[in-house]
Amino acid sequence: MHFVRQPSSICSFRASMTLPPASWMLAMLTRRQTLKGRFTIAAKHHITIAEIYETELVDIEKAIAHYEQSADYYKGEESNSSANKCLLKVAAYAAQLEQYQKAIEIYEQVGANTMDNPLLKYSAKDYFFKAALCHFIVDELNAKLALEKYEEMFPAFTDSRECKLLKKLLEAHEEQNSEAYTEAVIILVFFFFSTR
């Protein structure tokens, strides 16, 4: 009995299969594609496996590992926008798992990569904003220094509402002004819901 006609058709059959075999079969297919030098296809399969782990098996650590592998393959194939997309998923999950240093490094790297691209440079302020928030969770002083660094690296960040909000948050926290801090947090929450 011939189960699958083409190796790439495994992805379309994964919904009808039990989950561990589906992820195992995709992993085998991915290894086969890398041996053939088809890294872009392998990267896509790693994303599919990561999506299975993040939504159906709920194993975020394994999802992170597959997104990182996918990003590496995309970088090797000079597909930086696809690599950045995977890295941003890693950063978001790292922040959720309280791996703030890892999230900071990724947000800074992606921010630095995008600020030089005329089409993507406006996204850089969002990545620097998220990196600064991760810094703020760890240490207020590091957040201030990071904010100064981001303003120096990307002058357009200085006039952004993200930067102004961070400064307001840091100032209220430094002065231990609970009223101003609460106001800044409320603005932060509204900011996140309005940009998503």
pLDDT given at position 87: 92
Range of the domain at 51: 1-97
Q: Which amino acid is at 10?
A: I
Same domain, 4 and 31: yes
Q: Are residues 113 and 93 in the same domain?
A: no
Single residue among 97, 121, 154 that ends a domain in this structure: 97
Q: Is the Cβ–Cβ distance between 74 and 86 less than 8 Å?
A: yes
Between CA 148 and CA 157 the distance in angstroms is 10
Q: At 193, is the pLDDT very low, low, confident or very high (cuts 50, 70, 90)? A: low
Q: Is the pLDDT of residue 107 over 90?
A: yes
- How many domains are there within the chain? 2
What is the value of pTM for the model shown?
A: 0.76
Local confidence band at 31 (pLDDT 50, 70, 90 cut-offs): low
